Amino acid sequence: MDSTSSYLKDELRETFRVIETCLKCIYSGETHMYRSLASQLRILLCDTRYKKDNSLLVAVYPKLEVSGLESINWSSQNSGCLSINQTEAGTNRVAQMPFEITQFHNGLSIADLQLEKSKLIPIGQWSEQIVTYSPTDLTIKEVIRSVADKGGGAHIDATMSPALKYMRQLTPVGKTYAQMFIIALARFIHFLGEKLFSYEGCKVPKELFAQEHHKYNLGIVAHHEWAEVRTGVLKP
């Protein structure tokens, strides 16, 4: 391994350590640390230099492939855990996003991406996936860059972008979509770091899962014409 490759791998290891520390804080209730997570996710997945990709994870592991998000499938009846009640002639469609929030009895809220393990995507393309159509159309890259570049990760703009404005809306657990999306992405990347560097990182205490907790799935109901122009598969 040449000196540049060794340096970049050391920097990658340090970045995963920062993510580990931020998640520890979040698991102890310091959810504002999502801002720091956003800046680290940008470094790993969607950084640019002179309009060219400068993402650290891509630079160190250019041939890496990881599991993609579950497909967003539109249906006139049900999608994932969500369903709508309408006649056969109904014009609405429902779709569940590949994103789930868990709220524990102590008030801690986390989120996770819903992945399709058999669908492998090159790491350089992974952040181009659509993660949600609600509250607006957003790719993984748009989520990260909006929070990192404009929403407090590394910079704060006086005026919010449309994407960030939508993501500042509250989820059912009282946290913003920005917080929950970033936490979900960080949890997956943290898991990836454990595999790449063979270590066991911080976890949500097991006893919380053994106690009462609630799960929330993000979905959207829309007119069929609106749904048909999205990239999901329309089911009967």
So what's the pLDDT on residue 172?
93
- What pTM, to 2 d.p., does this model score? 0.92
Percentages of the chain per state (helix, strand, coil), in multiples of 5: 40, 30, 30
Q: Quick check: helix, strand or coil at residue 79?
A: strand
What does the alpha-carbon distance between residue 94 and residue 181 come to, in Å, rounded to a whole number?
Answer: 21
In which residue ranges of the chain is pLDDT below 70?
1, 151-159, 231-236
Report residue 25 CA to chain centroid gap: 18
Report residue 235 CA to chain centroid gap: 25
71's CB contacts (< 8 A; 6+ apart) are: 98, 116, 232, 233
- Where in 56-163 does DSSP place strands (E)? 65-69, 73-75, 78-79, 82-83, 92-104, 109-113, 115-122, 130-132, 138-139
**For the segment 166-181, what is each residue's pLDDT rounded down to a tens digit?**
889 999 999 999 999 9
Q: What does the block give as tokens for 126?
A: 């992974």
